[in-house]
Amino acid sequence: MNYDVIVIGAGPGGYVAAIRCAQLGLKTACIEKSKTLGGTCLNVGCIPSKALLHSSERYWDTQKHLSEQGILVDGVRLDFLQMMRRKETIISGFTQGIEGLFKKNKVEWIQGEAHLKGGYFVEVAGQTFESRFFILATGSASIGLPFLPFDEKRVLSSTGALALKEVPQKLLIIGAGVIGVELGSVYQRLGSEVQFIEFLDRICPGFDLALSKGLQKSLTNQGMVFHLSHKVIKAEIGAAISLTAQGEGKTSVFTADAVLVAIGRKPYSANLGLEIAGIQTTPKGFVAIDASFRTSQPHVFAIGDLVEGPMLAHKASEEGIAVAELIGGHCPTLDYFSIPGVAYTHPEAASVGLTEEEIKTRGISYKSALFPMKANSRARCIGEEEGFVKILADAATHRLLGVHILAANASELIAEATLALKERFTADQLAETCHAHPTLSEAIKEAALALFKEPIHL
């Protein structure tokens, strides 16, 4: 055998799995076909989108909100290409960082596309490698619309939208999910007119309904326009792009300079050789695994976006660590109940545990409480009064079932709730925890108090 473990794909699932395998003393290689490590997350996903969200928020905030604090800034201008260059520098810093981590941990990077050959063999550029175990982590790809093929200049997937050369005057976004609202926020702040065409009657369908509605209200106040319950049926691409959609009992035509198709992602396993290797997939095309991440071939594991579950970088990484520990002879546990999800909009939307709709479907008897950020002193000091903390708990046991936050820094606030859910805390334990004053996190304590006692500041 050449290796103990070969990992295929160096996204946040694969590269983390490879490093952990090597740390556990396993001879490890990672096959990655791209020129850089880090996968979707580092190259065309989490990191570039968050860099642009930050820059665009600074630009927007400077223009719109500093004067109310007595700070007068004249002549604010946008250097969009510099904003993009900064994003590229951040990406290359991270991708090179992973190369460094591979060297430090003695993970060998085999550059090229992996083709499974069955049994213990994989081929890369005509060379065959043998390994005791394989971890498949080839991730996901954007879903397109058949009548609107991506050209990544005017018909964009998220990858194209993260690499534009100029800010489009009018941007249409098909799909008001997480990618849509994040990238829509970027371009709305930079001056685009942003309109969404969404199939469902709500935005961000994975979130608790109160969070979706609150977020939609905030984004609408920022100027974004949502056409919900609309279905695009035709596209014409000429000097402008024109989309015909049906909704609200009528047919409407929308025009734009660019269109972002953000209707979800699908597992990616092109040319991987799943069939040759005898690896089964689910009806939706994900690689089928058991509770130990094993595929239908017991020495082949699969993780991340390639398998069912939330398509999130931290979920992929946790699975990568768990599989490495399993191969290394340990007994890891992974708690899917406490995986947080965040939309990095303004305000941010963050969620962990069950939504109210899921709790109702399961027939659990529950209590819900909501504490508005405008009653939180820190939020008022920093001018971030939009949003709320909503907590759901079991009516009988008081055990926490879900926490949903719409607030500035919700992405950081959700960590406390995640720990509380992972440890199966009750709302009372959260309410009895001392929180520093003044902090946004006091809103979590107050919402927890509101569940079975009474909030102090409401």
Q: Does 305 bind ligand FAD (CB under 6 A)?
A: yes
What is the full DSSP assignment across 313-371?
A: HHHHHHHHHHHHHHHTT------GGG--EEE-SSSEEEEEE--HHHHHHTT--EEEEEE
Q: Does 149 bind ligand NAI (CB under 6 A)?
A: no
Closer CB to ligand FAD, residue 205 or residue 438?
205
Stretch that binds ligand FAD, among 7-15, 82-90, 167-175, 225-233 (CB under 6 A): 7-15
Q: Does 311 bind ligand NAI (CB under 6 A)?
A: yes
The rounded distance, in Å, linking the Cα atoms of 148 and 259 is 9
Closer CB to ligand NAI, residue 109 or residue 199?
199
| Among candidate residues 43, 25, 53, the one with its CA nearest the CA of residue 98 | 43
Between CA 330 and CA 339, with CA 333 as vertex, the angle to 5 degrees is: 145
Least CB distance to ligand NAI at residue 262 (A): 4
Residues 6+ apart with CB under 8 A from 329: none
Residue type, 18: A
Least CB distance to ligand FAD at residue 247 (A): 26
Which residues are catalytically annotated? 437
The rounded distance, in Å, linking the Cα atoms of 245 and 232 is 4
User: For residues 262-291, which are near ligand FAD according to CB under 6 A?
Assistant: 268, 271-272
The rounded distance, in Å, linking the Cα atoms of 250 and 427 is 47
Site string for ligand NAI, 155-194 (x = CB under 6 A): -------------------xxxxxxx-x------------
Instruction: Return the one option of ligand FAD, ligand NAI, none that residue 11 interacts with (CB less than 5 to 8 A, by type).
Output: ligand FAD
For tokens 């994003």, the residue is: 87
Peptide bond into 347 cis (omega under 30): yes
Residues 371/303, Cβ–Cβ less than 8 Å: no
Site string for ligand NAI, 203-242 (x = CB under 6 A): --x-------------------------xx----------
User: Which residues contact ligand FAD by CB under 6 A?
Assistant: 8-14, 31-34, 39-41, 45-46, 49-50, 113-114, 137-140, 158, 179, 268, 271-272, 304-306, 311-314, 316
What is the contact surface with ligand NAI in residues (CB under 6 A)?
174-180, 182, 197-200, 205, 231-232, 262-265, 310-312, 341-344
